[in-house]
Structure 1
Amino acid sequence: INYDLLTPDHYVYDLIYNPARTMFLQKAEMRNAHFKNGLEMLHIQAEKSWAIWNN
């Protein structure tokens, strides 16, 4: 990936949540791109799964 092409207009998402900041996300942060790891997705998926199996 040519990280030099990332700008603040880009959104970078890495499904990995451990480590919280992968090299991929660190590079995005250095280029001032928006970034997120997969922890929020894990929480949302867990809530939906709980609701399906327990309601």
Structure 2
Amino acid sequence: MPVFLEATIEFYIKYKKKIALSASGVAFLILLFFIVIGQFILEGMKVSLDAFLVSGGVI
């Protein structure tokens, strides 16, 4: 949030809202992409979700 506020300090409120909405949309699409592709990668490597969760917890 502080980075967004500092980066958009010279913009009007209308443009700040537009930038925030588009950034949120892009972030959502990136997360959705990695959810779908990540599942295929895990299945291709034959790694179960439980094993992935345990290894993430250890790290």
TM over 0.5: no
TM-score (norm 1): 0.39
Structure (1 or 2) with the greater helix fraction: 2
TM-score (norm 2): 0.38
